[in-house]
Amino acid sequence: MLGLTASACGSGGEPATPNASGGAKAVSITVACQPAKSAPKEREAWDADVATFTKDHPGVTVKSTDQQPCFDPKTFGPKLAGGQMETAFVVPVTNYNDVISKGQALDITQYTGEIKNWNDLRADHKELVTKDGKVYGVPNVHYSVGLVYNRALFTKAGLDPNTPPKTWAEVRDAAKKIAGLGQGYVGYGEYSGGNTGGWHFTQAIYGRGGAILTPDDKKAAFNSPEGKAVLQNLHDMRWTDNSMGTKLLVDWESLMVAMGSGKVGMMLGAPDVVTDVVNKFKGNVADYGITGFPEGKASLSGGEAFMINPKATPEEAKAALEWIDYRFNTVGKGRWDFARGKSIGNPVGVPDNAVFGDSPTGQAIQADRVKNASLPVANYDSYVQAAGTIPPKAEPVHAQELYAILDVAMSGVLSRESASVDQLLTDAETKANSMLAAKG
């Protein structure tokens, strides 16, 4: 997930009252995602936006919450169940259906006009927050998986960094050439455990057009030609080509550290991988690019939406959506104020949010991003072009349990040359079906 902030302040749910001037009704709302005190410049920018918003909306008081992270799986469920959620709160895409089906989000169909560029939000993302024709959220973040690659290693290996691989055959060929640079070079990096192996298996099978579960979510569907192709390709790269190194990478950080070292040529990842590799793992910003998913028929997508507390009054709901419109959906304002972001030292340039797609709003945001970029935006052009054409696909239900099961298959092909792809998938299928049956 992309990290944000939140806290446990509930929507007041009290009737709005006229303000002292006798004009607009006074209303108080709580809103999630105020930056932490450990990020003082970002917090100052947020507070400035609150001040501007309340000045422009007489009678509205905005109380920002302060909990790290914005979505915390340990507190999210209890806060919802206990009625302590903010007026406007963040829900990850994996939780949309659960929150909506339990009546924990307000039907905002009549209020969507408060989001001035509502029609520019991608239809496929609006569909995810719509149930039985009713709208329950405002899509806020979307990302899709692509191929992150080291442009410097491509050049060193005699490859053209401006024409990155588009097929798995091209990925395999490039990986062999990069691994051939010498001791310690890894052409293609992949995970084998910590639920990250199964997560990347899901990315890869989606890209090939396969599925993890049957349409009714009752049975495993990954023991398929697409699933076998994923594991066989990894097995061959590891043992025939020797292009994946010898160290098993288990947790998320292990591959990121390796990528930041400048010795790994390629890995699957969303654009935030580039930011993290540079900011957290000391990679050279000029070295990294991202392109579309090889042969991408679909892409595992992540993201989040803002939803409104079902206890909110009409006045509170309207004010909360006006805040979301200003802070998160207006070109050149709030989170899209790239000039301000650049001035306070934030990295600007990575296309890490495609919630508006290629709409006029999306094009305007991208133009501002390029204009104020502090990162080499040309390195991400092929990803931007591909992301707009590859359909998004959400994580499966019971994702983490399935990822843990699929870790075993990923570890198997990467740790044992004699591993049977068919047997690994059959074993995983049996375990997954048992888990799904137990879950009901």
Q: Give the C-alpha separation, 278 to 42, whole Å.
A: 19
117 near 361, Cβ under 8 Å?
A: yes
Phi, psi of 70 (to 5 degrees): -60, -50
Burial of 423 (0-12, 13-18, 19+ CB in 10 A): exposed
Q: What local confidence, expressed as pLDDT, does residue 358 receive? A: 86
Burial of 421 (0-12, 13-18, 19+ CB in 10 A): buried
Q: Give the C-alpha separation, 205 to 409, whole Å.
A: 13
Q: What local confidence, expressed as pLDDT, does residue 417 receive? A: 97
Phi, psi of 161 (to 5 degrees): -65, -15
Q: What local confidence, expressed as pLDDT, does residue 27 receive? A: 97
Return the number of other C-beta atoms located less than 10 Å from residue 215's C-beta: 8
Q: What is the pLDDT along the chain (440 residues), one digit of tens a residue?
A: 233 333 333 344 444 444 443 445 799 999 999 988 888 998 999 999 999 999 999 999 999 998 656 777 778 888 888 878 999 999 988 788 889 998 999 999 999 999 999 999 999 889 989 999 999 999 998 888 999 999 999 999 999 999 999 999 999 999 999 999 999 999 999 999 988 899 999 999 999 999 999 999 999 999 999 999 999 999 999 999 999 999 988 888 889 999 999 999 999 998 888 888 887 888 888 899 999 999 999 988 778 999 999 999 999 999 999 999 999 999 999 999 999 999 998 889 988 778 998 899 999 999 999 999 998 999 998 998 887 778 888 888 888 899 999 999 999 999 999 999 999 999 999 999 999 999 88
292 three-class SS: coil
Q: What local confidence, expressed as pLDDT, does residue 16 receive? A: 47
CA atoms within 13 A on the CB side of 439: 14
Q: What local confidence, expressed as pLDDT, does residue 68 receive? A: 57
Q: Give the C-alpha separation, 383 to 129, whole Å.
A: 25
Q: Give the C-alpha separation, 202 to 122, whole Å.
A: 23
As a dihedral over the C-alpha atoms of residue 76, residue 77, residue 83, residue 89, rounded to 10 degrees, the angle is: 30
61 near 27, Cβ under 8 Å?
A: yes
Q: What local confidence, expressed as pLDDT, does residue 387 receive? A: 78
For the beta sheet containing 264-269, the strands, ordered from the edge strand earlier in sequence to the opposite edge, are: 186-188, 264-269, 146-150, 288-291
Q: What local confidence, expressed as pLDDT, does residue 232 receive? A: 98
This prediction has a pTM of 0.77
Q: Give the C-alpha separation, 379 to 289, whole Å.
A: 5
